[in-house]
Amino acid sequence: MKQLIKAVSLLLSLTFLPHAQVWADATTDAQAQVQQTTEKMLSSLKTNKDALKSNPSAVYPLVDEIVLPIFDFERMSRLVLGKNWQGMNESQQKRFVEEFRSLLVRTYSAALIEAAASSIDVNYLPVRAENDAKRLTIRTKVNYGGKAPVSLDYDMFLNNDNQWKVYNVSAEGVSLVTNYRSEFETDINTIGVDKLIEKIASRNQTSNKPNS
């Protein structure tokens, strides 16, 4: 899990580095969105560098504001919970999405700061997508800090508002959605949905504490 956290954090930081040619022709709007996000995120990390060293939790609002708008957390939640999603009422679904979103932010933000400040070399593999594609996967090979290249991919779809959104990320073939699905399904079978949500909320509260 720690390796996945590190790799996904790299992916999040690399997503917003200025590599304009990674998108297929059909996704020029997404390309422009990435470039705009790049400038905002890197500028914010640089501006708040000292503050982030003394107070790492200060990265949360930056990630909330700049990075997360391109993610579809309801879709991710549906995929993570699988058949269990349909068995939940609307209130439970809403609570789960909120807590799962917070869990991802708090789990990956600290490593995101480290990744963004490190030496990174990225090789983007060709995008296989038709001009009218509604889904695509961006595949990359990442050299990070002199270590062996890591395969980092993210899956995107074009929503009803004609916006590209991330709904899954994978590191070395390990899917974030699949990883959490296995963990959460075990919890649902043993303690139930409400207790799972409470468990995630408790983890979020713990991560909010200084030096947690």
Q: Return the CATH number at 111.
A: 3.10.450.710
Residue 86 is predicted with a pLDDT of 95
Distance, CA of 141 to chain centre: 17
Of 6, 2, 37, 3, the C-alpha closest to 118 is 6
Give yes or no for a contact between 34 and 24, defined as CB atoms under 8 angstroms apart.
no
Task: Name, of 12-21, 70-79, 145-154, 203-212, the range with top average pLDDT.
Answer: 70-79
Look at residue 127 and give its three-state secondary structure: coil
Residue 23 is predicted with a pLDDT of 40
User: Percent of the chain beyond pLDDT 70?
Assistant: 67
Residue type, 156: M
Residue 18, domain member (yes or no): yes
Q: What is the dihedral of CA 48, 50, 54, 56, to 10 degrees?
A: 30
Higher pLDDT, 123 or 62: 62
Residue 210 is predicted with a pLDDT of 42
> Mean pLDDT lowest for which of 22-26, 43-47, 161-165?
22-26
Cβ density class 173-191: b for 16+ within 10 Å, e for less: eebbbebbbeebbeebeee
Cβ density class 124-140: b for 16+ within 10 Å, e for less: eeebebeeeeeebebbb
Q: What is the CA radius of gyration of the chain?
A: 17
Domain of 153, in residue numbers: 2-207
Residue 32, domain member (yes or no): yes
Residue 189 is predicted with a pLDDT of 96
Residue 64, domain member (yes or no): yes
What is the 8-class DSSP label of residue 23? S
Tens of pLDDT along 28-43? Answer: 555 556 556 656 766 7
Residue 47, domain member (yes or no): yes
| pLDDT confidence tier of residue 3, bands split at 50, 70 and 90 | low
Partnered with residue 175 across adjacent β-strands are 170
Quote the CA–CA distance of 40 and 62 in Å, as a whole number.
Answer: 9
**In the predicted model, is pLDDT for residue 176 greater than 80?**
yes
In the chain, how many domains are there? Answer: 1
Residue 50, domain member (yes or no): yes
Residue 212 is predicted with a pLDDT of 44
Mean pLDDT for 33-60 is 73
Residue 123 is predicted with a pLDDT of 67
Quote the CA–CA distance of 23 and 32 in Å, as a whole number.
Answer: 10
| pLDDT confidence tier of residue 73, bands split at 50, 70 and 90 | very high
Residue 14, domain member (yes or no): yes
Give yes or no for a contact between 61 and 44, defined as CB atoms under 8 angstroms apart.
no
Higher pLDDT, 168 or 78: 78
Taken in order 109, 111, 114, 118, is the CA torsion positive or negative?
negative
The CA-atom distances, in angstroms, between 80 and each of 18, 132, 183, 184 are 30, 27, 9, 8
Higher pLDDT, 212 or 207: 207
Residues 114, 119, 122: CA angle, nearest 5 degrees:
110
Residue 151, domain member (yes or no): yes
Residue 212, domain member (yes or no): no
Tens of pLDDT along 109-160? Answer: 766 666 666 666 666 666 676 767 788 877 777 776 677 888 877 788 989 9
